[in-house]
Amino acid sequence: MKISVCGKGGSGKSTVVTLLANQARARGYRVLVVDSDESNSGLFRILGFDHPPVPLMELVGGKKKVQEKLKSGYSADEAETAMRVMTQENIKVDDIPSENILKQDNLGLVSIGKILQSLEGCACPMGVLSREFLRKLSLSRDEIAIVDMEAGVEHFGRGVETSIDSVLIVVEPSFESLQLAERINKLSRGIGVDNIWAILSKVPSNGIASKLKGELDTKGIDMIGCIHYDEDIFQSSLEGLSFGKAKASEEIIDVFDSIVSRANSGH
């Protein structure tokens, strides 16, 4: 299963990715977290690692090289082909070079690439690489890939989701977040994603949860679960730490089980 976690900036995507990854491991899965957010660099910390992996972009000659190809008259397709010959057609988790993947107890973390300098150019090469990596990624039945997507919807324009089977939209209690959820839902449907669900995040009360669920129902978006506002998570994030036994870890149990059962039954 390949799950893409999307939503508005700051809605709680990386937190939900971490909660899901922890729960998937608790259920006996091997998890590959794919950091596809080219701006924020802290996912490794929330997942409990003390340094980030070397980005996969380095495997294909660096962002500049891919960008040069795009600039020097190569079409996006040709640039992809060039990358394809540098890598194999099917990538298994165990094939990923050790410096490009961090591992700990059935958890792996890879990162596509980060924009680190000003005037470095656009993030299109990252989008192409994300899409190609996810397409080639070949998982066994006991493996799950969870993608921490960049905020917003640009990744849909780059086709990153084309080989994703499930899209999880993180919705925080705000009008903007609901609006964006509607767009993501439509875009995901448009590219034929089988499973699209919303998960509520940072919800302060059950009253607000019902209200948000009502809004999502009106928009025809299926809500799969709710993570309440959790002081422990907020505090850990403030200190740049991974969160331990947060209340949200209990709430994610049912969400994860629903995702697996619905994905397997095709709903």
Ligand X SMILES: Nc1ncnc2c1ncn2[C@@H]1O[C@H](COP(=O)(O)OP(=O)(O)OP(=O)(O)O)[C@@H](O)[C@H]1O
- Residues lying near ligand X in the complex (CB under 6 A) are found at 7, 9-15, 37, 40, 151, 201-202, 227, 229-230, 233-234, 237, 248
Are 100 and 87 within 8 A, CB to CB? no
Residue type, 111: S
Q: Which residue, 134 or 199, has its beta carbon nearer to ligand X? A: 199
d(CA 246, CA 215): 27
Min dist. Cβ of residue 199 to ligand X (A): 10
Provide φ and ψ at 86, rounded to 5°.
-80, -15
Q: Can you tell me which of 1, 2, 11, 14 binds Mg ion, judged by CB under 5 A?
A: 14
Minimum distance of ligand X from residue 20's CB (angstroms): 12
Residue type, 125: P
Name the residue number minimizing CB distance to ligand X.
237
**From the list Mg ion, ligand X, none, partner contacted by residue 9 (C-beta under 5 to 8 A by kind):** ligand X
Q: Which is nearer to ligand X, 37 or 143 (by Cβ)?
A: 37
162: partner contacted, choices Mg ion, ligand X, none (Cβ within 5-8 A by kind): none
Q: Which are the contacts of 121, defined by CB distance < 8 A and separation ≥ 6? A: 63, 67
Q: Which is nearer to ligand X, 23 or 201 (CB)?
A: 201
Q: Stretches 33-41, 75-83, 201-209, 237-245: which one binds Mg ion (CB under 5 A)?
A: 33-41
User: CA 214 from chain center: how many Å?
Assistant: 26
Please choose which of Mg ion, ligand X, none residue 10 contacts, taking the beta carbon within 5 to 8 angstroms, the exact cut-off set by kind. ligand X
Per CB under 5 A, 249 contacts Mg ion: no
Nearest distance from C-beta of residue 233 to ligand X, angstroms = 4
Q: Closer CB to ligand X, residue 32 or residue 66?
A: 32
Q: Which is nearer to Mg ion, 2 or 13 (CB)?
A: 13
Q: Which two tokens stand for residue 102?
A: 């961090």
Q: By C-beta, is 215 or 230 nearer to ligand X?
A: 230
Residue 67 binds which of Mg ion, ligand X, none (CB < 5-8 A, kind-dependent) = none
Q: Are 17 and 31 in contact (CB under 8 A)?
A: no
Query: What whole-number distance in Å separates Cα of residue 47 and Cα of residue 40?
Result: 14
Which token pair is 181? Answer: 């959820």
Residue 229 partner contact from ligand X, Mg ion, none using kind-dependent CB cut-offs of 5 to 8 Å: ligand X
Q: Rounded to an integer, what distance in angstroms lies between the CA atom of residue 31 and that of residue 25? A: 7
**Closer to Mg ion by Cβ: residue 40 or 87:** 40
| Residue 233 binds: one of Mg ion, ligand X, none (C-beta under 5 to 8 A by kind) | ligand X
Residue where the block lists tokens 């890939």: 145
Q: Which does 130 bind (CB under 5 to 8 A by kind): ligand X, Mg ion, none?
A: none
Point out which residues bind Mg ion (CB under 5 A).
13-14, 40
